[in-house]
Amino acid sequence: MKNRIIYLAIFVVLFGACQKGAEQKQNKITNDLKFWTWITADGSRADSSYVAEFKKYKQNGLDAVLINTHTDSKLLARLTPIAKKEGLEVHAWIMAMNRPGDSLALQHPDWYAVSREGKSCYDTRPYVDYYQWLCPTRKESRQHVLNLVERLAKVKGITSVHLDYIRFCDIFLPVGLLPKYNLVQNTELPQFDFCYCDVCVTEFMKKHQRDPQKMKHSEIDMEWKQFRLNKIKAVVDEAYKIAHNHNKELSAAVFPYPEMADHMVRQRWDKWNIDQVLPMIYNHFYNEGTDWIGFATAQGIKDLANKKTELHTGIYVPPLSPKELKEAIVQAKASGAKGVAFFDGSAITDEQFKVIKSFK
């Protein structure tokens, strides 16, 4: 009898513990969204100014910073312990295939991507002055990008190397940006179509026995597109190995959802080896409302269903009212995102911080 009472007591205690565990898990789920923000570092700023900035992020509910140091690993090594001390995770943000003003690459004009018009990004920049794309196929340019990834992966304390511009130049711009450039894009325009360099053309011809330079309608040649999707994937998969060799993860800023990324910038991120993707679901760029943030997030989540890759929704904060920002976060969460990343840290207003904090 005494034993039975003891067993019963143990059972009650255990059951209570399980219930508490379940409640905690429930609480964790509701507060579990990870919040990130992208920032661009300035080496001339004092440590104390970064302490203040990171403190502000942490106090307002952010968990991680993606820091662009323009691949300056010393600056990253300086800022990482400061951010970590304030309780933030650090991710090393790198502009991967688009490398404007890269002093080493500029010594090799043949590393740059070439348009269907035959013009190189070395001296002809599509759309904007900061577009200077490297070829992902040519051994040397590809290796240069991977060397930069490794340089950042070696920095102590960072969580991931974060690839940005890991794609081709936009063959189609977001519809909301077209008027700004006074452009109509009903088809693939040759000046925005890459890469037709000797290495890409030769390798494709060897594989598929036709010359992309001579195609009347290159926009409907599926193998030519697939060739380029695979070239970007190959860079990512190699970067993944490098990051993991240094016990770091690999993450990337990508276009809103895989088919859209494929269509606009030849980027098929659901097929990559990568730990986290942060799709830039910037609704205003596409003349969309906050409901579209839910739609695009759900699309990506479905495409990643059988993979370990986490999806964290990227939100462009400047045009959003506090109410819209709240809706955007709710949409991302309801659609299955593991977190939300805000672009960018310096643009988040006090009213917006209040909204972000309210989710924690």
Nearer to Zn ion, 233 or 326 (CB): 233
CA distance 358 to 259: 33
Residue 187 beta carbon to Zn ion: minimum distance, rounded to whole angstroms: 22
Q: How far is the CB of 96 from Zn ion (least distance, A)?
A: 15
Contact 169, 113 (CB under 8 A): yes
Minimum distance of Zn ion from residue 204's CB (angstroms): 10
| Nearer to Zn ion (CB atom), residue 72 or residue 110 | 110
Residues in CB range of 143: below 8 A, 6 or more apart: none
What are the φ/ψ torsions at residue 119 (nearest 5 degrees)? Answer: -100, 140
CA-based torsion, 71, 356, 31, 33: positive or negative: negative
Which one, 123 or 350, has the nearer CB to Zn ion? 123
Report in angstroms how near the CB of residue 137 gets to Zn ion at its nearest. Answer: 5
φ, ψ dihedrals at 67, nearest 5°: -105, 125
**Interface positions with Zn ion (CB under 5 A):** 135, 137, 195, 197, 200
- Between 140 and 291, whose beta carbon lies closer to Zn ion? 140
Structural tokens at position 122: 């070395």
Give whichever of 63 and 110 is closer to Zn ion, judged by the CB atom. Answer: 110
- The tokens describing 295, both together, are 């739609």
Nearest partner of 343 among 162, 97, 86, 192, judged by Cα: 162
Q: What is the end-to-end Cα distance of the chain in Å, rounded?
A: 48
Give the shortest CB-199-to-Zn ion separation in angstroms: 5
Q: Which two tokens stand for residue 93?
A: 């943000």
CB-based burial label for 154 (10 Å; 0-12, 13-18, 19+): middle
Least distance from C-beta 224 to Zn ion, angstroms? 12
Are the CB atoms for 345 and 66 separated by under 8 Å?
A: no
Query: Which of 232, 92, 69 lies closest to 165, judged by CA?
Result: 232
State in angstroms the smallest separation of the CB of 231 from Zn ion.
8
What's the min distance (Å) between Cβ of 226 and Zn ion? Answer: 15
Of 168 and 272, CB closest to Zn ion: 168
Instruction: For residue 67, count other CB atoms closer than 10 A to its CB.
Output: 25
Name the DSSP letter for residue 122: T
Omega within 30 of 0 (cis) for the link into 344: yes
Query: In terms of CB distance, is 100 or 176 closer to Zn ion?
Result: 100
Tokens matching residue 16: 């209570």
Q: Which is nearer to Zn ion, 135 or 253 (CB)?
A: 135
